[in-house]
Structure 1
Amino acid sequence: MRLWIGLSLPRLPLEVFSPSWCTDAGSVVLEQERVLALSATARAAGVQPGMRRGGVLMLMPDARVHERSPPREAEALYAVALAMLQYTPQVAEAEEGTLLMDVGASLRLFGGVRALCRRVRADVRALGFTASLACAPTARGAWLLARAGGHRSMRRTLKMPTLVRRLDLLDLLLAPPARPFAAWFEGIGCASLGELRRLPRPGLQRRCGRALLDLLDAAYGLSPELYEWIAAPETFAARIELFDRIDDAELLLAGARRLLLQLTGWLCARQLAVERIVLRLEHERGREARPPTCVEVALAEPAWRDEHLVRLLKERLAKLVLEAPVIGLGLEAKQLQPMAPLSDSLFPEPGGSEEDRMRMLELLVARLGADNVLQARPMADYRPEQANVWVPVQQKVSDRARNAQMPPDVMSLPRPTWLLAKPIALLMREHRPFYGSPLRMASNPERIEAGWWNGPETRDYFIAEGQDHALYWVYRERIGADESEPRWFLHGLFG
C-alpha cells in the first residue's frame, strides 16, 4: 500500500530561536521589519502577525526580537529529516518547511499507521519543534493536508475517495501557485480546491499557468510524483547551539537527545551500529575560552537505538561536574559496525536476551564507573590464584584468545565455584585436616608445580568431604614441609 506522511513545521521560523520545550518570555520573528511568527506570550500581550517592530516594542519592551534566519531553518529541517530516516529511507524535503515520507513499507514494522504517527510526533517534539502531521495516498495530498493543520482521523485518509473529499474542502490559497491570483479567485467566488477543480482547465491554464494544474493532478493522484530523497552523509557529526548558558550537566540531556535522534536516523539509513560515541560540551569563547569537555560512552555491544543511549548519557551527565557554563553541544560516532539484525529464537531464554544483559552491564558501567564493573579473564597459569585476572566488563576478549589462554589439561579438571582470596591454614586432628569436622579425602591428588619465575609453588590438591557432606578444595604443601606434620590449607568450596 502506498502511503505518505506529510510533516509540516508551521512554527519553524520561531522555534529555531525558541524550541517548543523552552520557557519563553516573549519571542518575535521579523521578516522585512514585519512580524512573521510570534510566541504565545507575545500574542497574549497584543502582538499580531504583520505588525512592525515599533509596535512590538511598544507593547512588549522586553520582547526578544529576531530576524528570520533561512540558514537556521534549513539546518533544523535537515536535522528533523535525518531523525526521520529511522522510519523510512524515502524522506524528501518539500516547500514551506515540510517533509514528505513514503512509509507504505514501514507500517507493519512500527505497528501500523497510528503507532507510527505517534512516534513521529514524539520525536519531532523531542527535537524542539511543533508538528502538523497528515497521511494520504499521494505525496502532494499529504502535503496539503499537513499545511492545513492535519487531521485527527488519520486512518480515514488512507483511501483515495476520502482523500478527494478532504482535499475539496481545503482553502485554495494553500496551493502556492494560486496565491499570485488570489484577488482574481476572490472576484469569481472560488475559495476551495473543489471549486477550483470545477473551473475549465484550458482557461485556468492560460490565466494561472501549468504549475497550479500540475499540483492539483499530483495531489488527486492523476499524475506520477518524483522526489529526490535525502541521503545520509558518510560520517556523522552533529552540533547544536544552546539558547542559554547551562551550569547543570543534567539539564543538557534535552539537547543531547536531539543529537541522539539524528544519530539514530543516520545509523538506520546507513545500516550501521555504534560502539562508542563522544558528546562534546562546548564552553565560552574569547578571552576566557576553555577546551571542550568530552563525555565518552563506550558500549559493550553495538547499538542503533536512542533509548539505551539516552539512559547511558543520563547516568554519565548525572555524575559530571561542570567547570564552566556550556553554550553548545556536539556529538560524534567514533566506532561503527555493520548492523546485526535481531534474531528471534523459537524458545526465548528466561530472564531476557543477551542484548538485555549487555544493556544492563552498560548501564552499571555508566552509573558506577568502568573500574567497578569487572569480568573474569583466564590466564595461562596453573596456579589457581594466578589463573584469573579481573578486567573491565567492556574489555573484549575473543573466544579464540580465551580458549588459548586456558591450559587444555586444566579445563577438564573439577574446580570449586568459590575460590578463597587467601588460603586458610587447617588444624590437624588425628592426622587428618580439620574444618568444622574431620575431612575425608574424596579424590586422588592433583599435583601443581608452577611459578618457578616468581616464587615456585608445589602443592597436592584434594577434594575433601566433611561430615555434613560439604565438599572442600584443600591442598598439602610439599616444599619445606615436615613429612610427619604436613601443612594443609583450605583454598575453595564447591557449590
Structure 2
Amino acid sequence: MRLWIGLCLPQLPLEVFNPNWSADAGSVVLEQERVLVASSAARAAGVQTGMRRGGVLMLMPEARLHERSAAREAEALNEVAMALMQYTPLVAQAEEAALLIDIGASLRLFGGIHALCRRVRANLRALGFTAFVSCAPTARGAWLLARRNAGRALKMASLERRLDRLDVALAPPARPFAGWFEGIGCFTLGDMRRLPRPGLQRRCGRALLDLLDAAYGLSPEMFEWIEAPTTFHARLELFDRIENAEHLLAAAHRLVLQLTGWLCAHQLAVERITLLLEHERGKLARPPTPIEIALAEPTWRDEHLVRLLKERLAKQVLDAPVIGLGLQAEQVQPMAPPNETLFPEPGGTEEDRTRMLELLAARLGEDNVLQAAPQADYRPELANVWVPVQQKIRDAARDAQLPPDLHSLPRPAWLLAKPIALLMRNHRPFYGSPLKMASNPERIEAGWWSETQTRDYFIAEGEDHALYWVYRERIVGSGEGAEPRWFLHGLFG
C-alpha cells in the first residue's frame, strides 16, 4: 500500500532564528519591514501580522526583531528531512515549507501509522519545531491535508471526502483567480472538480488540473528525493553563551537525530562519534573541546547515544563558554540486522548488556569498567589483562593460541594479584590449617625471554574443605638440601 506523510510548518518557527527563544519574550520576525511571525508575548502587546517595524517598536520597545533568512529556513528544513530519513529514504521537499515522506513500506516495521506519526511528532519536538502532520494515499493529497491540518485519510474514499471540503485558495495555482472563483460560487475543491475541465484549463492553466489529478490519484506523481551526503558532519550554532555542559544536551540531541537519519539512509551503524564544543572566536579564540564516545557494539539508535552524551556532559567541566556544537561520525560500518530469536532470553539480549556496560563506562569512566582479554602466555598472572569494555578483544583472543587441553584444566575463580608465601609446618604448607594435596601436579615453565618461572601447581584442600590453588617453586641449580618454597596463588569458589 502506498501511503504518504505530509509535514507542513504552519508558520516560520521562531526557533529557526533563535533556538533559545522564550514564549514570554517579545520576539518578532520581519520580512520586508513587515511582521511575519510574532511570539505570544508580542501578540499580547498588540503586534499583528503585517504590521510595520515602527508600529512594533511603538507597541513594544523591548521587542527583539529578527530578519527572515531564506538560508536558515532551508537549513532547518534540511535538518528535519535528515532526521526523518530514519523511517524511509524516500523524503522529498514540497512547496511552502513542507516535506513529503513515502512510508508505505515502513508501516509494519514501526507499528502502524498511528505509532509512526507519534514518533515523527516526538522527533520534531526534540528538534525544536512543530508541524501539521497528515497522511494520505497520494503525496499531493497529504500535502493539501497538512496545509490545512485536516487530519489523516488512509483510503482513497476518505481522502476524496476530506479534499472536497478544503478551500479553493489552498491550491497555489488557484490563488491568482480567487476573485473569479468566489464570483461563480466555487469555494471548495469539490466545487472546483465539478466545473468543466476544458473551461477551467483555459481560465486557470494546466497546473491547477495537474495538482487536482495528482491529489485525487488520477495521475502519477514524480519527485526528486533528498539525498543524504556521503559523510556526516552536522553543526549547530547557539544563540547564547553556555557555561554549563549539561545545558548542551538538548542541542546535542538535535544533532544526534540527524545522525540517526543519515545512518539509516545509508544502512550504516556508528562505532565512534565526536561532539565538538566550539568556543569564542577572534582574540579569545581557542580550539573546540572534543568529546569522543567509542561504542563496544555499533548502533544506529538515537536513544542510546543521547544517554551516553548525557553522562559525558554531566562530568564535563567547561574551560570556556560554548557558542556552537558540531557532531562527526568518525567510524561507521554496515548495519547488521537484529538477530531475533524464537524465545527471547529473559535476562535481555546481548545488545542490552552491551548498552548497560557502555552507560556504566560513560558514568564511571572508561578506566573503571574493564573486561578480560586473554594473552598467549602460560604464566597465570600474565595470561590475561584487563582492558576497557570499548576496546575490541577479538584479535587478542584469536592470537592467544594456547593448547586446547590447557582450557580443560581447573582454574580458580579468584586469582590473587600477588602470590602469598606459605608457612611450612611438619614439611607441609600451612594456610589457616595444614593443606593436603588433592590433585596431581601441573608443571608450568615459561618466561625464558624475561624471567624464567618454573612451578608445580596443585589443588590443595584445608581442614575446612576449602580448595586452594598453590604452587611449589622449583629450585634449579641449588643443592639437594634446599627447601622448596610454597605459595598461594588462587582460591576456588
TM-score band (shorter)? over 0.9
Q: Which runs of 5+ in 2 are unaligned?
A: none
SS at match of 2:77: helix
2:402 is matched with 407
1:159 is matched with 155
2:44 is matched with 44
SS at match of 1:324: coil
Query: Cα 1:483–1:378, aligned 2, differ >3 Å: closer, same or farther?
Result: farther
Indicate whether 1:190 and 2:190 are aligned.
no
Query: Residue 40 of structure 1: CA displacement?
Result: 1.4
Asked whether the 8 Å contact 2:20–2:239 carries over to 1, the reply is no
**Matched pairs, number:** 490
SS at match of 1:203: helix
1:125 is matched with 125
SS at match of 2:468: strand
Indicate whether 1:419 and 2:415 are aligned.
yes
Query: Residue 21 of structure 1: CA displacement?
Result: 7.8
Indicate whether 1:235 and 2:231 are aligned.
yes
- Which residue among 470, 490, 495 is the counterpart of 2:488? 490
Indicate whether 1:463 and 2:459 are aligned.
yes
Query: Residue 413 of structure 1: CA displacement?
Result: 2.1
Point out the more displaced range, 223-232 or 443-452: 443-452
Query: Cα 1:372–1:482, aligned 2, differ >3 Å: closer, same or farther?
Result: farther
Amino acid at match of 1:492: G
Instruction: Measure the CA separation in 2 of the matches of 1:478 and 1:184.
Output: 109
Instruction: Measure the CA separation in 2 of the matches of 1:471 and 1:62.
Output: 81
Point out the more displaced range, 102-111 or 346-355: 346-355
Amino acid at match of 2:121: R
Indicate whether 1:367 and 2:402 are aligned.
no
Query: Residue 381 of structure 1: CA displacement?
Result: 2.3
2:428 is matched with 432
Asked whether the 8 Å contact 2:21–2:27 carries over to 1, the reply is no
2:3 is matched with 3
TM-score by length of 1: 0.95
Instruction: Measure the CA separation in 2 of the matches of 1:196 and 1:14.
Output: 36
- Which residue among 469, 476, 482 is the counterpart of 2:472? 476
Asked whether the 8 Å contact 1:20–1:130 carries over to 2, the reply is no
Indicate whether 1:344 and 2:340 are aligned.
yes
Query: Residue 61 of structure 1: CA displacement?
Result: 0.9
SS at match of 1:158: coil
SS at match of 2:338: coil
SS at match of 1:490: strand
SS at match of 2:76: helix
Query: Cα 1:62–1:266, aligned 2, differ >3 Å: closer, same or farther?
Result: same
Residues 257-406 of structure 1 mapped to structure 2, 5 A cutoff:
257-398=253-394, 401-406=396-401
Query: Residue 160 of structure 1: CA displacement?
Result: 1.1
Asked whether the 8 Å contact 1:13–1:73 carries over to 2, the reply is no
1:80 is matched with 80
Query: Cα 1:13–1:31, aligned 2, differ >3 Å: closer, same or farther?
Result: farther
1:349-378 per-position Cα deviation (integer Å, ceiling 9, x unaligned) = 331111111111111221122222222222
SS at match of 1:334: strand
Instruction: Measure the CA separation in 2 of the matches of 1:269 and 1:96.
Output: 25
Query: Cα 1:434–1:406, aligned 2, differ >3 Å: closer, same or farther?
Result: farther
Query: Residue 202 of structure 1: CA displacement?
Result: 1.7
Point out the more displaced range, 459-468 or 479-488: 479-488
Asked whether the 8 Å contact 1:18–1:27 carries over to 2, the reply is no
Instruction: Measure the CA separation in 2 of the matches of 1:100 and 1:435.
Output: 76
Point out the more displaced range, 447-456 or 48-57: 447-456
Amino acid at match of 2:10: P
Query: Residue 487 of structure 1: CA displacement?
Result: 2.5
Instruction: Measure the CA separation in 2 of the matches of 1:278 and 1:376.
Output: 26
1:31-71 per-position Cα deviation (integer Å, ceiling 9, x unaligned) = 12111111112111111111111111111111111111111
Instruction: Measure the CA separation in 2 of the matches of 1:128 and 1:22.
Output: 12
Instruction: Measure the CA separation in 1 of the matches of 2:40 and 2:155.
Output: 36
2:35 is matched with 35
TM-score by length of 2: 0.95
Amino acid at match of 2:278: E
SS at match of 2:42: helix
Query: Residue 425 of structure 1: CA displacement?
Result: 2.3
Asked whether the 8 Å contact 2:23–2:39 carries over to 1, the reply is no
Query: Residue 451 of structure 1: CA displacement?
Result: 2.7
Percent sequence identity over matched residues? 78
SS at match of 1:2: coil
Indicate whether 1:17 and 2:13 are aligned.
no
Instruction: Measure the CA separation in 2 of the matches of 1:130 and 1:21.
Output: 14
Instruction: Measure the CA separation in 2 of the matches of 1:374 and 1:20.
Output: 40
Query: Cα 1:359–1:22, aligned 2, differ >3 Å: closer, same or farther?
Result: farther
Query: Residue 195 of structure 1: CA displacement?
Result: 1.6
2:91 is matched with 91
Amino acid at match of 2:485: R
Residues 62-77 of structure 1 mapped to structure 2, 5 A cutoff:
62-77=62-77
Instruction: Measure the CA separation in 2 of the matches of 1:427 and 1:95.
Output: 88
SS at match of 1:344: coil
SS at match of 2:6: strand
